[in-house]
Amino acid sequence: MRAGINWPGLVGGVAVILLVVISLFVPWWQLTVGEDLVKANVSPIYTNFDFIGSSFTIPLLLALNVSSIILMTAGGIAVLIYSVKPTTSYSKQLLGFGYRKPLYALIFFIIGLYATTVVVKSVFGFDVPLIGSAIVTMPTEMTQGATVSVPMVAGFQWPFWLAVAASVLCIAARLFHPKIVPIKGPVVNSTSTAPASPAPTVA
């Protein structure tokens, strides 16, 4: 193995770039209502909804997705550059900028997903499962007085776990940094401070 490379950071940076590309096609979390009647494909990178075969996006979510793409891509590239040159003068700045990006995306994604289920519960009166399946009875106001129950199936997809792995690797790169670039201690002056011997007197 080549010395002077932060290997967790190198793998983590590659994982972040792959995560961005894969998440354009495969969601982190998916909800299916009925027999593919409604499907929600959700991730920080790309979010879209299918309704009876028709796909659409929400402009606000699309803007947030584009911001996430830019930030995560920049973070992954920063970690990659740092990892191959961890001893340069700007390396720690690159690491500090990049290693937090997948972790922040993961945290905000989980918080946003949970908050959405709470809002749906408070507004529409039914629970949306985060994981697993459930039979949900729709409010009569939405079904013109008829009692309608629909199955819902939800779960995290494999790119979510790739995001977890990328976050762990980038954090490991930060923890591994001092082993590659040790913190310099104070410089000790080795010059003796003992007083000089007096000059011999001449008789």
* Domains of the chain: total: 1
Instruction: State whether the Cα torsion 16-22-25-29 is positive or negative.
Output: negative
CA 32 to chain CA centroid, Å, is 24
Residue 185 pLDDT > 50, yes or no?
Answer: no
Q: Residue 173: what pLDDT? A: 94
Q: Residue 57 CB: number of other CB atoms within 10 A?
A: 13
* pLDDT value for 30: 95
Residue 2 lies in a domain: no
Question: What global pTM score does this model have?
Answer: 0.81
pLDDT in tens, 65-87: 999 999 999 999 999 999 998 98
- Looking up residue 116, the CATH number of its domain turns out to be 1.20.140
Question: Cα–Cα distance between 95 and 83 in angstroms, integer?
Answer: 8
- Reply yes or no on whether the pLDDT at 124 is more than 50: yes
d(CA 24, CA 41): 10
150 domain-assigned? no
pLDDT tens per residue, range 134-143: 888 776 666 6
DSSP string, 77-115: HHHHHHHHSTTSTTHHHHHHHHTTHHHHHHHHHHHHHHH
- Residue range(s) defining the domain that contains residue 18: 7-125+155-180
Burial class (CB in 10 A: 0-12, 13-18, 19+), 89: exposed
For residue 114, being part of any structural domain is answered with yes
Q: Is residue 128 helix, strand or coil?
A: coil
Neighbours of 164 (CB within 10 A): 14
The DSSP secondary structure of 24-79, one letter per residue, reads TTS-SEEEEETTTTEEEEE-SS--EEEETTEEE--HHHHHHHHHHHHHHHHHHHHH
Kindly state whether residue 112 falls inside one of the protein's structural domains. Answer: yes
Within a domain: 134? no
Cα–Cα distance measured from residue 157 to residue 40, given in angstroms and rounded to the nearest whole number:
12
Residue 159 lies in a domain: yes
Residue 27 lies in a domain: yes
Judge whether 202 lies within some domain.
no
Parallel, antiparallel, or unpaired for β 149-156 and 132-137?
antiparallel
- Residue 101 CA to residue 107 CA, distance in Å, equals 10
